């Protein structure tokens, strides 16, 4: 097991404070037709846009056993982060809060011939019933985690060899800042960034190594124009009746998604 976390480390407090700043006023959320924080499972499905040669995939494969390795994918979505590790991995364990995501994960893992199992629930709540693995991966999740210390320590405690994390270098929701100002007249935060996360890991003495690289292609469904409009409407808490206005605004203010991601790796602590 890892050492107990220090009481409210400064870096973790800064990370939490910045993430909590992304909360929305009740008067906006209460009138929203659907939650602005939801995700469509199809966006995370495995398709032919999945890249086996991302920095994150290579860093995970570097530490996996030559054959027969096990990967735990926390916040697995449809499995885009872990199916690319087969081979050398031959067993994938997916953890997600969404049953639809886990169904997609099982299909993707079966498609690459991996032994597969799932754990349904939020991390780290389900950590006690989740088996350990050679490598733990957790991609594009941590900007949703305000209480980051127990989250990353549970990742570490489940990894025999290493934890590999990928996140955009800046908060992905920052791309909607202009739209929030235009449609609602409110300003959005700028942080946290990957530097804030690395500071947390350093403070926990996890000895992270990290690098940045261009972001690979996203799932084809995610860039479909019709889906993009629906996703923008959900993110901005707008009703369908404003689709024409929203489409016009997006045509002259296209969303510029973060094009750089960070890969962070640190040693595992599990002896199991």
Cα–Cα distance for residue pair 40/34, rounded to 1 Å: 12
Question: Is residue 130 domain-resident?
Answer: yes
DSSP 74-95: ET-TTSTTTGGGTTTEEEEEEE
pTM: 0.88
Question: Is residue 240 domain-resident?
Answer: no
Structure tokens at 92: 């994938």
The pLDDT value recorded for residue 220 is 46
The pLDDT value recorded for residue 219 is 46
Cα–Cα distance for residue pair 218/166, rounded to 1 Å: 14
Pick the range with the lowest mean pLDDT from 77-86, 173-182, 185-194, 211-220.
211-220
Domain that holds residue 43: 10-171+190-221+256-267
Question: Is residue 63 domain-resident?
Answer: yes
User: Model confidence at 37, in pLDDT bands (50, 70, 90)?
Assistant: confident
CATH of the domain at 100: 3.40.50.150
Question: Is residue 184 domain-resident?
Answer: no
Question: Is residue 4 domain-resident?
Answer: no
Count Cα neighbours of 72 within 13 Å in the Cβ-side half-sphere: 26
99-131 pLDDT, tens digit per residue, is 999 999 999 999 999 999 999 999 999 999 999
Question: Is residue 239 domain-resident?
Answer: no
Q: How far is CA 114 from the centre of its chain?
A: 22
pLDDT at position 22 over 50: yes
Question: Is residue 236 domain-resident?
Answer: no
The pLDDT value recorded for residue 221 is 39
Name residues whose C-beta falls within 8 Å of residue 4's C-beta, 6 or more positions apart in sequence.
none
How many structural domains are present in the chain?
Answer: 1
When the pLDDT of each residue in the chain is averaged and rounded to a whole number, the result is 89
Calculate mean pLDDT across residues 52-81: 95
Q: Between these two residues, 210 and 51, which has the higher pLDDT value?
A: 210
Question: Is residue 251 domain-resident?
Answer: no
């Amino acid at each position: 097991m890892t050492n107990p976390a220090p009481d409210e480390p400064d870096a973790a407090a800064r990370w939490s404070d910045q993430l909590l700043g992304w909360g929305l006023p009740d008067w906006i959320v209460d009138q929203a037709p659907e939650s602005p924080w939801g995700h469509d499972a199809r966006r995370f499905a495995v398709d032919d846009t999945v890249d086996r040669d991302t920095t994150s995939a290579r860093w995970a494969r570097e530490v996996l056993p030559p054959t027969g390795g096990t990967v735990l994918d926390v916040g697995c979505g449809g499995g885009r982060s872990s199916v690319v590790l087969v081979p050398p991995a031959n067993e994938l364990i997916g953890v997600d809060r969404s049953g639809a995501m886990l169904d997609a994960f099982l299909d993707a893992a079966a498609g690459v011939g991996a032994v597969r199992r799932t754990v349904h629930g939020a991390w780290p709540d389900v950590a006690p019933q989740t088996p350990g693995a050679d490598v733990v991966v957790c991609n594009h999740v941590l900007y949703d985690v305000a209480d980051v210390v127990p989250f990353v320590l549970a990742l570490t405690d489940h990894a025999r060899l290493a934890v590999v994390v990928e996140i955009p270098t800046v908060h992905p929701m920052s791309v909607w800042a202009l739209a929030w100002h235009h449609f609602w007249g409110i300003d959005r935060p700028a942080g946290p960034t990957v530097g804030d996360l690395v500071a947390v890991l350093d403070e926990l003495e996890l000895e992270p190594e990290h690098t940045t690289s261009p972001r690979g292609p996203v799932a084809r469904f995610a860039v479909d124009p019709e889906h993009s409009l629906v996703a923008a409407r959900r993110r901005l808490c707008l009703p369908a009746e404003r689709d024409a206005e929203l489409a016009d605004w997006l045509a002259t203010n296209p969303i510029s998604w973060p094009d750089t991601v960070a890969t962070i790796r640190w040693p595992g602590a599990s002896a199991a």
